[in-house]
Chains A and B, each alone.
Chain A
Amino acid sequence: MPNVQLKGVSKYFGRIKALEEIDLEIKEGEYVGILGPSGCGKTTLINCITGIVEPTHGTILIDGKNVANIPIERRDFAMVFQSIAIFPHMTVEQNAAYGPFVRNVPKQTRGEISEEMLRLVDLLEQKQLRPRSLSGGAKQKTAVARALANQEKLLILDEPISALDYKVRVSLRYELRRLVKKLGLTAVHITHDQEEAMSISDRLVILRAGRIVEVGTPQQLYEHPHTLFSMNFVGESNFLEGMIKQKRAQDSYRIEFRNNQYIDLQGLKGDFDQGESIILAFRPETMNYCSQEEDNALSGTILRKRFRGGYIRYEVKLLTDDLIIIDSQTLLEEKEKIFIQIDPYEARLFASPEFGLKKVLALE
């Protein structure tokens, strides 16, 4: 099983800095998701690993070996693309056996390999079909089988399921992860889809404008992100602008919001000073609320409710003039007044960003 190390990797295209100072270690057998908005450098990052582009600065080690002078055809990896690249004139079976065929593997072994790969992706029954008679999902599974047939241990997936229908996407992400773990591969998976990235990865790398914003397990990044950008990018959040009115102890603050609204919170992470401008951020499913007046709660009115499948989404206008969202399975009514208590262990406190909240959270 290979590991991949990037040390200070930068890639410039003219004046455009596609990647800047990327330090990243991908361990053996790890499934790493690379997540970021369009143009963040995701594709350039894997192009550097595969050798499609040369980094401007920095070193890339695969299994501890510097690959700077190894051309793409001699780097050992398997790759799956978004634009399902299988040969239309070949059957599923011939597609799967293509890699071994090119490498002059004897016919019988070739047959065995493709048989095994098609069994893994559950396509044995369709092995005689040509791509045009396959569904989108089956086509992409063929591409996966073909990529794996070379029996490389490093699998690079560039938006492998983004072009498929939602239902197919969900089922393929489970199958991909199962496959990678079963075969003991190291996988690097690029996507712009948060849910896909979280469900499939051991660790997630969040990229933005060519830089790594944060690296962590999906749960770390969702529950305890270190940046406002991640808090907004990986799942939705509420952001309240306020100020530290009073600092009572290391982790105990009175926070004041607009319209003289304030709450006391104890147990928040981070060190802030009295008078400092802050952003209080919390996920829509994390607060407690009720319709009776509560101490130390933010009060508001439910403007709208919407059924969302497994839960209901409420839009709530707070007395602070902020509009927040609450996701809950409890039934409340529109125009109802509610009192919201923030759970300090679920909420995050961030220093107010210099150029404004909007700019820090921007997705485009």
Chain B
Amino acid sequence: MVKAHIEIQDLNKRFGKLYAIQDFNLEVERGEYVVILGPTGAGKTTLLKLIAGLVKPTSGKIYKNGELLNNIPPERRNMAYLPQTSDYSLFPYMDVWENTVFSPKMKGDKPWEEIIALGDEILDLVNLRTRYNAYPHELSGGMMQRVALARAMAADADIFLLDEPLRALDARLRIRLRTEIRKLVSDLEKTTFHVTHDQEEAIAVADRVLVINEGKIVQFDIPEEIYDYPSTLFAAYFFGTTNLVLATRARNENNGEVVQAGEHEITIKPKDIIRSFDKQESHSDEEIVLAVKAEKILVTPLIRTKPESQFKVNIFEGTVEQAFFLGKWANLAVQVEGLSKKELHVSIPSSDLHQYNVGTKVRLEIPSENINYFFEPWEVAKRLEMT
């Protein structure tokens, strides 16, 4: 049997009474690009440091290729850890070249010609060969970032631990570099853990996303699965622009269930067998939270003359309160009279934006299959939405 590159078993880390990491179990394959995603204080950095060996677990085990790492010091784990500092911990008195070849030079197990060839090759990869004699303070944030990566690559580590590697950079540069980093480490078949709080970044680069919150694993899956089939309300809310609608369970109907959201009824359907309802009883008046992504609400300008088909469910009339242009997309904030939520956010291609002004009356349709739902108290949703 092929062993997982990194395996974590029943891992806990406690600081005093507080669990920074609680009951972590996961396996990561060689060459996988894992993004660790969560809000500030979720435990992301602690997890990286546990893997790197910079922090000792309170209990639990970490294996690499089946070998127990717990008693192996950080410098013998063959991992490259890029901490979350603005200077990327480069040596300020060394130029790009010296920073890059630092590790092989220190190890001293390769002939000098080989180190030169390796350094050249890596600087080519990160596109910095022409700047080989620049010092860190002469470089932009993005370039320093790449030198740090180059140094890690030259060290020949087989696991990369990147803590918010793009944090200090401009938004536009971040978009470009995230793909570049991903490509670089994947070409070299490195196993990577990349920490971020930016869900868009996570979706854009991850093989699998490890969503964590308050020290616990929320979901560990491929981006598509987390986005379309979130296993918890937290994951549903965290990805994309998500409307949380508070409702109470009302009654069962044919192949769905009707819930009451303010004055409106909404029909929800189980997405598949596994996620189907608890058939035994419909707990009437039980609180339920519906989660609908902004692009999964269908919107059209309201045409009065057209009668609605009686078979249609989940149709609402609303008024555009605000319209935001976002580039590729535009976002409409639509007020629906009598709904338990003050406004729904609806995402449309920006080429359709001209049809909607503030005050435009619209028809909204939320297909049942586009609704994720969670049997959670409303309080949980309210807490999530509090900024």
Contact = CB atoms under 8 A, between A and B. Distances in A.
B240 A310 contact: yes
B142 A309 contact: no
Best-surrounded residue of B40, B203, B324, B347 (most CB of chain A within 10 A): B324
A194 B350 contact: no
A234 B327 CA distance: 8
A26 to B, nearest CB: 19
Nearest to B349: A285
Best-surrounded residue of B237, B240, B350, B353 (most CB of chain A within 10 A): B350
Contact of A174 (B199, B293, B324): B324
Contact of B239 (A38, A39, A137, A309): A309
A295 interface: no
Given A167-B39, A307-B224, A285 B170 contact: no
A317 interface: no
Contacts of B349: 285
B331 interface: yes
B239 A195 contact: no
Interface in B324-350: 324-329, 331, 333, 347, 349-350
Interface stretch (B171-179, B267-275, B359-367): B171-179
A356 to B, nearest CB: 14
B223 interface: yes
Contact of B172 (A135, A170, A192, A307): A192
Given A198-B327, A219-B325, A236 B175 contact: yes
A364 B169 CA distance: 10
Interface string A161-181: 000011110111010011000
Given A135-B387, A174-B333, A193-B171, A199 B142 contact: no
B327 A166 contact: no
Given A165-B39, A307-B224, A309-B240, A198 B295 contact: no
A184 interface: no
Contacts of A166: 197-200
Nearest to A122: B387
Best-surrounded residue of B176, B199, B327 (most CB of chain A within 10 A): B327
A308 interface: yes
B140 interface: yes
A141 B386 CA distance: 12
Given A37-B170, A138-B387, A166-B199, A307 B327 contact: no
A309 B227 contact: yes
Contacts of A193: 171
Given A37-B170, A363-B142, A310 B295 contact: yes
B258 interface: no
Contacts of B239: 309
A306 interface: yes
B368 interface: no
A307 B327 CA distance: 19
Contacts of A178: 322
A235 interface: yes
B325 A194 contact: no
A194 B327 contact: yes
Given A307-B224, A310-B240, A233 B325 contact: no
A218 interface: yes
A364 B239 CA distance: 30
A12 interface: no
Contacts of A235: 327-328
B203 A307 contact: yes
Contacts, number: 105
A309 B203 contact: yes
B157 interface: no
Interface in A280-301: 283-285
Interface in A215-267: 218-219, 222, 233-236
B173 A37 contact: yes
A30 interface: no
A21 B347 CA distance: 39
A310 B197 contact: no
A235 B329 CA distance: 11
Contacts of B140: 38-39, 364
Interface string B160-198: 000000000111110110000000000000000000011
Contacts of B325: 198-199, 218-219, 222
B327 A170 contact: no
Nearest to B37: A166
A136 B40 contact: yes
Nearest to B140: A364
A216 to B, nearest CB: 12
A363 B170 contact: yes
B227 A307 contact: yes
A158 interface: no
Contacts of B204: 306, 308
Nearest to A39: B140
A327 interface: yes
A137 B387 contact: yes
B169 to A, nearest CB: 8
B171 A364 contact: no
Best-surrounded residue of A137, A236, A284 (most CB of chain B within 10 A): A236
Given A37-B172, A219-B353, 19 more contacts: A37-B170, A136-B40, A137-B387, A141-B387, A166-B197, A167-B199, A170-B241, A174-B322, A193-B171, A195-B326, A198-B326, A199-B325, A219-B325, A234-B327, A236-B175, A285-B328, A307-B203, A310-B329, A363-B170
6 contacts: A165-B197, A171-B387, A193-B171, A194-B171, A198-B327, A307-B203
Closest 10 CB pairs of A and B: A137-B387, A193-B171, A310-B295, A364-B140, A192-B170, A235-B327, A199-B324, A307-B224, A363-B173, A218-B325
